[in-house]
Homo-oligomer: A and B are copies of this chain.
Amino acid sequence: MPEVIFGQGKTPQQVADIFQRLAAHGGNVLATRATEEQYAAVADCVPAAEYRPLARAIVLKRDRKKHGKGVIVVVSAGTSDIPVAEEAVVTAETMGNNVQHIYDVGVAGIHRLLAHRGALAKARVIVVCAGMEGALPSVVGGLVGVPVIAVPTSVGYGAAFEGLAALLGMMNSCASNVSVVNIDNGFGAGYVASLINRK
Contacts of A77 in B (CB 8 A): 174
With beta carbons under 8 angstroms apart, the residue of B109, B168, B174 that contacts A107 is: B174
Q: What's the Cα separation between A106 and B173 when bound, in Å? A: 10
Whether the pair A174, B133 counts as a contact (CB closer than 8 A) is yes
Whether the pair B164, A135 counts as a contact (CB closer than 8 A) is no
Whether the pair A176, B158 counts as a contact (CB closer than 8 A) is no
Whether the pair B145, A195 counts as a contact (CB closer than 8 A) is yes
Whether the pair B168, A164 counts as a contact (CB closer than 8 A) is yes
Q: What's the Cα separation between A189 and B176 when bound, in Å? A: 9
Is A180 close to B, CB under 8 A? yes
Is A156 close to B, CB under 8 A? yes
Contacts of A142 in B (CB 8 A): 106-110
Is A78 close to B, CB under 8 A? yes
Supply 17 A–B pairs (Cβ within 8 Å), ascending by A: A77-B174, A78-B174, A108-B138, A108-B142, A108-B175, A110-B110, A135-B135, A145-B195, A165-B168, A166-B169, A168-B168, A169-B169, A172-B182, A176-B192, A177-B195, A179-B180, A180-B180
